[in-house]
Amino acid sequence: MARKNLFEVSEPTNEQSPPDAARTALVRPLMGLDRALKPGRPVGAISQSLENINSRAQRAEEIERKLSEGQVVVELDPGLIDHSIVVDRLGVSDEAQAGLVEQIREHGQQVPILVRPHPETGGRYQVAYGHRRLRAVTQIGRMVRAVVRDLTDEQLVVSQGQENNSRSDLSYIERCYFAAKLEAKGFSRGIIMASLGVDKAALSKMIGLVARLPAEIIEAIGTAQSFGRQRWAELADLLEERGKRAKALKAIQEPEFEARTSDERFQAIHDLVKATVKKPDQTVWTAANGSRLVKISDSETKTTFAFDKRVEPEFATFVRERLQALYDEFRQKLTD
């Protein structure tokens, strides 16, 4: 059923009614303004001035406008609320989250979150923004204050991004990663630009940066609040050098890596891959007859034998055919 007239002000229908605003019946049941000013009532007996009445009317119009737009704040069970389509954060420190929990515990949830009815599951909701507040209220065990609006996927991600922009809440790499994930979900560049408040050139750089960085490394490092575009681009350059990506991927698996702060994790990976790689030690094996047959290159991770076929064309094949026997002899020696 249409609700076209739900928030309208009722107007006098009697053609004989005076046009004076003070004589107009003002009906706003949502605000309790359902008392009409009677024609002919003495001005001195009016309990409030026309100015005050107009002020109340303006406030009523604003609140009813918000109601009509779905801006009314309600209390919801946090257990009925699911994450957004794309989570925009790379993690929140325990210290920061604990501070928010304590603030809400002491002063209450001052700012509501924004949710929409879940598009696939009846009776549930989906967050547009306010993930940290939702988590904090859940930890405390309270109902969460929320605004419920019918949002398309595009409206949801734009609201999500713009809220974070207004709060300067996300680090540079989180914004880049959020943009890349939105594109992977099929959102247009126009929607992503609106969400992040950036132009086409800036967005291209952000998505291009993420394409050059392994997702495992981004997620392992986290927010890295102290590091912006230049340092992340430098890290991407370093990781493209031979062997350095594998070294970084190995480092993030170490137990002590996760124990560091996000900034410390970034710096550790940056320092690791920036360090000059030690050149392999190289020697030449010379046979008893003086032939320089094999060049041996020895690094931290591997040893390479290069056979000079110009000196002994068949020697490399001879050794290769006996590798299994050599390996068996090696294993036997270990067990002796």
Flag whether 270 is in a domain.
yes
Map residue 289 onto helix, strand or coil.
coil
Q: Which residues lie below 8 Å from residue 180, measured CB to CB, with a gap of 6+? A: 206, 207, 210, 211
Which residue's entry shows tokens 């974070």?
164
Flag whether 100 is in a domain.
no
Flag whether 107 is in a domain.
no
Q: How far is CA 66 from CA 19, 59, 173, in A?
A: 29, 11, 35
Strand 73-76 to 144-148 pairing: antiparallel
Flag whether 26 is in a domain.
yes
Q: How many domains does the chain have?
A: 2
Q: Where are the alpha helices (DSSP H) in the chain?
A: 50-68, 94-107, 131-140, 153-167, 172-184, 189-196, 200-211, 215-221, 229-239, 244-251, 255-258, 262-274, 315-321, 323-335
CA distance 124 to 126: 7
CA distance 251 to 248: 5
Flag whether 250 is in a domain.
yes
Q: Structure tokens of 264?
A: 């410390």
Which of 259, 275, 291 is the last residue before a domain boundary? 275
Which of 16, 46, 69 is the last residue before a domain boundary? 69
CB 113 within 8 A of CB 134: yes
CA distance 97 to 249: 28
Flag whether 59 is in a domain.
yes
pLDDT tens series, the chain, 336 aa: 444 333 333 333 444 434 444 433 344 333 333 334 444 455 444 445 555 556 555 654 554 455 445 568 889 999 999 988 888 778 766 777 888 899 999 999 988 999 999 999 989 999 998 888 999 999 999 999 999 999 999 999 898 888 877 665 689 999 999 999 999 989 999 999 998 889 999 999 999 999 999 999 999 999 998 999 999 999 999 999 888 999 999 999 998 998 899 999 999 999 999 876 567 788 999 988 888 999 999 877 789 999 999 989 999 999 999 999 988 888 888 887
Domain housing 227: 221-275
Q: How far is CA 209 from CA 181, 202, 203, 332, in A?
A: 13, 11, 10, 51
Which of 275, 297, 318 is the last residue before a domain boundary? 275
Flag whether 43 is in a domain.
yes
Read off φ and ψ for residue 313, nearest 5 degrees. -60, -30
